[in-house]
Amino acid sequence: MSTYMPKLNNKTVLLIVLGLGVLRLVDTQLPSPAYAKLYLDLGEQAQKHKEYHRAIAYYNKTLAANKMSNKGYYRLALLYQELNDQDNMLKYFKKVVAIGSDVTNIKVNPYERRDIEYADACYYVGLDYKNQNNIPMAMRFFELSLNHYRPYPQSTYQLGLIYDQLNNKEKALEQVGLITKDASTIALGQKLKTILLNDHPDWR
Protein backbone atom coordinates (compact mmCIF):
# COMPACT_ATOMS: atom_id res chain seq x y z
CA MET A 1 0.00 0.00 0.00
CA SER A 2 1.57 3.25 -1.14
CA THR A 3 1.53 6.43 0.93
CA TYR A 4 0.92 9.74 -0.79
CA MET A 5 3.63 12.29 -0.15
CA PRO A 6 2.90 15.82 -1.36
CA LYS A 7 5.59 17.57 -3.28
CA LEU A 8 7.07 20.50 -1.38
CA ASN A 9 8.43 23.44 -3.28
CA ASN A 10 11.24 25.60 -1.94
CA LYS A 11 8.86 28.25 -0.59
CA THR A 12 6.87 25.67 1.43
CA VAL A 13 10.04 24.15 2.87
CA LEU A 14 11.26 27.62 3.88
CA LEU A 15 7.99 28.40 5.66
CA ILE A 16 8.15 25.11 7.58
CA VAL A 17 11.72 25.80 8.65
CA LEU A 18 10.84 29.34 9.74
CA GLY A 19 7.82 28.05 11.66
CA LEU A 20 9.89 25.50 13.53
CA GLY A 21 12.40 28.23 14.30
CA VAL A 22 9.72 30.43 15.85
CA LEU A 23 8.47 27.56 18.00
CA ARG A 24 12.02 26.90 19.17
CA LEU A 25 12.49 30.58 20.05
CA VAL A 26 9.24 30.63 22.03
CA ASP A 27 10.40 27.70 24.14
CA THR A 28 13.71 29.40 24.92
CA GLN A 29 14.16 32.59 26.90
CA LEU A 30 14.00 35.85 24.98
CA PRO A 31 15.24 38.50 27.43
CA SER A 32 13.96 41.61 25.66
CA PRO A 33 10.93 43.34 27.26
CA ALA A 34 9.43 43.36 23.78
CA TYR A 35 8.78 39.62 24.18
CA ALA A 36 7.05 39.91 27.57
CA LYS A 37 3.64 40.34 25.92
CA LEU A 38 4.25 37.26 23.75
CA TYR A 39 5.01 35.10 26.78
CA LEU A 40 2.05 36.56 28.66
CA ASP A 41 -0.33 35.66 25.82
CA LEU A 42 1.11 32.15 25.58
CA GLY A 43 0.71 31.73 29.34
CA GLU A 44 -2.92 32.82 29.21
CA GLN A 45 -3.64 30.34 26.43
CA ALA A 46 -1.97 27.52 28.37
CA GLN A 47 -3.95 28.44 31.49
CA LYS A 48 -7.23 28.39 29.56
CA HIS A 49 -6.43 24.81 28.57
CA LYS A 50 -5.56 23.88 32.18
CA GLU A 51 -1.89 23.41 31.27
CA TYR A 52 -0.81 25.01 34.52
CA HIS A 53 2.88 24.02 34.56
CA ARG A 54 3.31 25.36 31.04
CA ALA A 55 1.42 28.54 31.94
CA ILE A 56 3.63 29.14 34.99
CA ALA A 57 6.73 28.67 32.82
CA TYR A 58 5.50 31.27 30.34
CA TYR A 59 4.56 33.75 33.07
CA ASN A 60 8.02 33.33 34.57
CA LYS A 61 9.48 34.05 31.12
CA THR A 62 7.31 37.17 31.02
CA LEU A 63 8.86 38.34 34.28
CA ALA A 64 12.37 37.40 33.15
CA ALA A 65 11.84 39.58 30.07
CA ASN A 66 10.27 42.40 32.10
CA LYS A 67 10.71 42.32 35.86
CA MET A 68 8.24 45.20 36.26
CA SER A 69 5.40 43.44 34.47
CA ASN A 70 2.37 43.93 36.69
CA LYS A 71 0.34 41.72 34.39
CA GLY A 72 2.83 38.85 34.74
CA TYR A 73 2.49 38.82 38.52
CA TYR A 74 -1.25 39.35 38.22
CA ARG A 75 -1.71 36.35 35.92
CA LEU A 76 0.33 34.19 38.30
CA ALA A 77 -1.87 35.32 41.19
CA LEU A 78 -5.02 34.38 39.26
CA LEU A 79 -3.54 31.02 38.29
CA TYR A 80 -2.77 30.12 41.90
CA GLN A 81 -6.22 31.36 42.89
CA GLU A 82 -7.64 28.92 40.33
CA LEU A 83 -5.55 26.18 41.94
CA ASN A 84 -6.82 27.24 45.40
CA ASP A 85 -3.25 27.98 46.48
CA GLN A 86 -3.95 30.98 48.71
CA ASP A 87 -0.36 31.51 49.84
CA ASN A 88 1.06 31.85 46.34
CA MET A 89 -1.97 33.83 45.20
CA LEU A 90 -1.38 36.39 47.93
CA LYS A 91 2.38 36.39 47.27
CA TYR A 92 1.89 37.53 43.69
CA PHE A 93 -0.90 39.97 44.45
CA LYS A 94 1.48 41.62 46.92
CA LYS A 95 4.05 41.92 44.13
CA VAL A 96 1.46 43.71 42.00
CA VAL A 97 0.85 46.14 44.86
CA ALA A 98 4.59 46.63 45.41
CA ILE A 99 5.16 47.59 41.76
CA GLY A 100 2.20 49.96 41.72
CA SER A 101 -0.51 50.81 39.24
CA ASP A 102 0.09 50.49 35.51
CA VAL A 103 -2.26 53.39 34.85
CA THR A 104 -0.40 56.62 34.10
CA ASN A 105 -1.56 60.17 33.46
CA ILE A 106 -4.77 59.58 35.38
CA LYS A 107 -6.97 62.51 36.31
CA VAL A 108 -7.79 63.46 39.89
CA ASN A 109 -11.32 62.04 39.59
CA PRO A 110 -11.01 58.46 40.99
CA TYR A 111 -13.95 57.32 38.89
CA GLU A 112 -11.76 57.74 35.80
CA ARG A 113 -9.11 55.33 37.06
CA ARG A 114 -9.51 51.90 35.48
CA ASP A 115 -6.80 49.53 36.65
CA ILE A 116 -8.56 46.27 37.50
CA GLU A 117 -5.31 44.35 38.09
CA TYR A 118 -4.13 46.77 40.77
CA ALA A 119 -7.64 47.00 42.26
CA ASP A 120 -7.90 43.20 42.52
CA ALA A 121 -4.48 42.99 44.15
CA CYS A 122 -5.36 45.67 46.71
CA TYR A 123 -8.64 43.91 47.49
CA TYR A 124 -7.01 40.57 48.27
CA VAL A 125 -4.22 42.19 50.28
CA GLY A 126 -6.94 44.05 52.19
CA LEU A 127 -8.74 40.77 52.89
CA ASP A 128 -5.52 39.31 54.26
CA TYR A 129 -5.10 42.24 56.64
CA LYS A 130 -8.75 41.93 57.68
CA ASN A 131 -8.23 38.24 58.46
CA GLN A 132 -5.29 39.28 60.64
CA ASN A 133 -7.61 41.77 62.37
CA ASN A 134 -5.43 44.64 61.17
CA ILE A 135 -8.41 46.87 60.43
CA PRO A 136 -6.58 50.12 59.57
CA MET A 137 -4.46 48.40 56.91
CA ALA A 138 -7.46 46.48 55.61
CA MET A 139 -9.40 49.72 55.17
CA ARG A 140 -6.44 51.34 53.47
CA PHE A 141 -6.23 48.64 50.81
CA PHE A 142 -9.97 48.41 50.24
CA GLU A 143 -9.96 52.17 49.66
CA LEU A 144 -6.97 51.81 47.33
CA SER A 145 -8.84 49.28 45.25
CA LEU A 146 -11.75 51.70 44.96
CA ASN A 147 -9.40 54.52 44.02
CA HIS A 148 -8.21 52.53 41.01
CA TYR A 149 -11.41 50.87 39.85
CA ARG A 150 -14.99 51.92 40.49
CA PRO A 151 -17.39 50.41 41.10
CA TYR A 152 -15.61 47.66 43.00
CA PRO A 153 -18.51 46.24 45.06
CA GLN A 154 -16.45 43.61 46.92
CA SER A 155 -14.30 46.29 48.55
CA THR A 156 -17.37 48.40 49.32
CA TYR A 157 -18.99 45.35 50.92
CA GLN A 158 -15.94 44.69 53.09
CA LEU A 159 -15.82 48.33 54.17
CA GLY A 160 -19.49 48.05 55.14
CA LEU A 161 -18.68 45.06 57.36
CA ILE A 162 -15.81 46.96 58.97
CA TYR A 163 -17.98 49.99 59.68
CA ASP A 164 -20.49 47.56 61.17
CA GLN A 165 -17.81 46.35 63.59
CA LEU A 166 -16.87 49.95 64.35
CA ASN A 167 -20.53 50.75 65.07
CA ASN A 168 -20.44 53.54 62.50
CA LYS A 169 -24.03 53.61 61.28
CA GLU A 170 -23.65 56.45 58.79
CA LYS A 171 -20.63 55.00 56.97
CA ALA A 172 -21.95 51.43 57.05
CA LEU A 173 -25.28 52.33 55.48
CA GLU A 174 -23.46 54.54 53.00
CA GLN A 175 -21.72 51.43 51.65
CA VAL A 176 -25.10 49.75 51.17
CA GLY A 177 -26.23 52.69 49.07
CA LEU A 178 -23.06 52.60 46.97
CA ILE A 179 -23.44 48.89 46.19
CA THR A 180 -27.14 49.04 45.34
CA LYS A 181 -26.57 51.81 42.79
CA ASP A 182 -25.58 49.10 40.31
CA ALA A 183 -28.38 46.70 39.32
CA SER A 184 -25.90 43.82 39.00
CA THR A 185 -24.86 44.09 42.67
CA ILE A 186 -28.21 44.83 44.35
CA ALA A 187 -28.24 41.33 45.90
CA LEU A 188 -24.83 41.98 47.50
CA GLY A 189 -26.09 45.30 48.83
CA GLN A 190 -29.18 43.67 50.29
CA LYS A 191 -27.00 41.02 51.92
CA LEU A 192 -24.90 43.73 53.58
CA LYS A 193 -28.01 45.61 54.69
CA THR A 194 -29.46 42.46 56.26
CA ILE A 195 -26.24 41.86 58.21
CA LEU A 196 -26.16 45.45 59.44
CA LEU A 197 -29.78 45.48 60.60
CA ASN A 198 -29.44 42.09 62.29
CA ASP A 199 -26.40 43.37 64.17
CA HIS A 200 -28.01 46.72 64.95
CA PRO A 201 -31.83 46.53 65.10
CA ASP A 202 -31.89 50.17 66.20
CA TRP A 203 -30.49 51.19 62.78
CA ARG A 204 -33.84 50.44 61.12
Least confident of 30-39, 106-115, 159-168: 106-115
Closest CA to 173 of 152, 142, 194, 147: 194
Q: How many CB atoms lie within 10 A of CB 170?
A: 8
**Cis peptide leading into 151, omega within 30 of 0?**
yes
User: Rounded distance, CA 194 to CA 191, Å?
Assistant: 5
Q: What is the DSSP letter of 13?
A: H
- pTM comes to 0.79
Predicted confidence at residue 152, as pLDDT, reads: 92
Return the C-alpha torsion angle 103, 106, 109, 114, nearest 10: -30
**106: pLDDT strictly greater than 80:** no
Biggest alpha carbon distance in the chain?
89
- Percent of the chain at pLDDT > 90 equals 63
